[in-house]
Each structure stands twice: as structure tokens, then as C-alpha cells.
Amino acid sequence: MQMNRLFEIVYILLNKKTTTAKELAERFEVSVRTIYRDIDMLSSAGIPVYASQGKGGGISLLDDYVLNKSLLSEEEQNEILFALQSLTVTQNPETDKVLSKLSSLFNKSKTNWIEVDLSPWGSDKNKTCEFTILKNAILNHQIIEFTYFNSSGEKSTRTVEPLKLIFKVHAWYLQGFCLIKNEYRTFKISRMSHVEIMQEFFVDRMSEGFSVDNKEQNYQKWINVQLQIAPQGAYRIFDEFDENEITKNQDGSFMVVTSLPENEWLLHYILSFGTDIEVLAPQNIREMVQDKLEEIIWKYKK
């Protein structure tokens, strides 16, 4: 907070030239003594700020002072602005203020290079609001409660100490300590709803080495599978598999050798390709797909 106030003071002096300690104290809702301490700190940092007494006096910068932008290269200035804009997804009003002021000081127009919308395509529901709630709960160390649907479609109410937001592959996840399960868990944000911040606060008990990958490895067995995917399935292949796992065949189809979790999800994932996919190995997965297809056919023959 103090660093932000110091930056604001310099910005005001660069634009207003002269102001008073009283005006600054009222603006930042601090004491006049605090403002004078800030002025001393700026002066110690090499910024030529001074206070003059009498009529027309006040706090000023030397007339010929210009913020030394040469300390930062053109590339570094751009990186600062781009990094700040990437934080606008957190909807922190201070971020936009600082971004605007730095753009002015660097004499650069604000570049709108990124926008993050957490709602799914075709949806009216904007997940950005929930993202902001989660961000605030993490920063304030407040417990949250929400409704959650797991990968099996089971609905539950969770009470969690939120620790970190993670973007992995194609989705956002919340990492935290689940007070219902009494262990660390990772939750997919798209499966969360009715997120509420509780009044209770928590002390961060984050353990070393906890990650999304570690927890996923603990909960499921992974197997090697060999898939052949028709040319019309190419739009999904390079989104969902590593380039090193893909081989293009002469007929335009693709061979994919990868590792996938051996559970009910795998069967549904394979079927989501429709007729564009064939499981070549392992044999037990081929048989599982055949059984599921026969079950589907039987339903439609009734």
C-alpha cells in the first residue's frame, strides 16, 4: 500500500507541480506526518522532492526533473505494461489505475492485448465473477463454500481453504485444503457453482511438493494406449495430444500413442470421437469400447 502511495505522490507532482501535505493526507486518508515520512523516503531514494514554506509553498519536484525512463529499456517497459494488463482478469481496480499511469509516464498508448473470459462458449454465465471471488478469498485467507460436481457427476457441498488458482491444459483449477475430506484437493472451476466467501479465516498450511499432477497421479492409474484417428478428427488431435505422440499416416489419418487414465472417463473420451477413432491397443480397452457400443445399439433397438 505504501509503495502504491509513493508512486501516486510522484505522479501527482509530475502533473500538478505543487501540492500540500494536507491535500495529500486527505487524498490518501493518512496523517500529515505520514505524508512527510513518504516525502523523506522519496528524497532518500534520489527523487528531488522538497517542501517549501510560506504563501504559495508546498511539496514540489525540481522543475527540470523527469522520471528516468532510461533505467528501463523499451522492451522492459513493454513487458511491465503487458504483465499488468494480464492481471486485469483479477478485476483489481488498482491494476488498471497503475497501468494507465505507467502508460502515460512511458508515453505509450494502452495496448489491449489480452482478455480472459472464463465462461464457456455459448453460455450467458460469466465465470469471471467466481474467479474474482476465489482470488479475493485466497488473498484474504478466507474459507469458501461451494457446490461441486465431480467427474462422475456426483453433487456435493465443499468447504475449502483456497490456496492457488491454476490454469492447466484447457481449464482453470482451484487448489486448496478440503475441510470435508480433510486433505488437499484440486477442483475444476467449471464444475463449481454458488461460490461463497465465509466469515472464517485460515492459516496457510500449504505443504511442500503438492501439485495438480501429484494429486492426479495418486488418484488414478495411467495406461499406454494406441489410437488411430481419421483425418476429420485432426482439429482435436493437436489440441489434446503432444506433438511427439502424433504420427501422420500416408492416408491422412493419424496414429497417436499416449498415456491416459484408466477409468470410466477414458471410455467416454474415446466415444466422444464418434466414428473418427479406433483403439488399436490395449486389447482390453478395445473390448470395453465394443461392449459399450453394443449397449448403445441395444438401447436404440428396444
Q: How far is CA 277 from the centre of its chain?
A: 33
pLDDT at 107: 57
Instruction: Please give the pLDDT value at position 133.
Output: 87
Query: Residue 290's pLDDT is what?
Result: 94
pLDDT of 69-110, one tens digit each? 444 566 666 655 555 555 555 555 555 566 565 665 555 655
At residue 109, the pLDDT reads 58
User: Are 211 and 176 within 8 A, CB to CB?
Assistant: no
Q: What pLDDT, on a 0 to 100 scale, did the predictor assign at position 178? A: 93
Residue 203 CA to residue 217 CA, distance in Å, equals 27
The CB density around residue 73, as the number of other CB atoms within 10 Å, is: 10
pLDDT at position 52: 77
Is the distance from CB of 179 to CB of 143 less than 8 angstroms?
yes
Contacts of 240 (CB under 8 A, 6+ apart): none
Residue 242 has a pLDDT of 86
Share of the chain above pLDDT 70, in %: 69
**Contacts for 213 with CB less than 8 Å, ≥ 6 apart:** none
Q: How many CB atoms lie within 10 A of CB 7?
A: 16
pLDDT at position 206 is 58
Half-sphere exposure of 254 (CA within 13 A, CB side): 21
AA identity, residue 119: S
- Say what the pLDDT of residue 129 is: 72
Q: Which residues contact 145 (CB under 8 A, 6 or more apart)?
A: 157, 158, 159, 160, 195, 196, 198
- Cβ neighbours for 275, distance < 8 A, ≥ 6 positions apart: 230
pLDDT of residue 191: 87
Strands 155-168 and 18-19, bridge-based pairing: unpaired
Read off the DSSP letter of residue 252: S
With a CB cutoff of 8 Å and minimum separation 6, the contacts of 203 are: 141
| Per-residue pLDDT at 225 | 96
**In the prediction, which pLDDT does 210 show?**
55
pLDDT confidence of residue 10: 75
Residues of the chain with pLDDT under 70: 1-4, 16-17, 45, 56, 63-128, 151-152, 169-170, 206-220
Q: What's the pLDDT at 62? A: 73
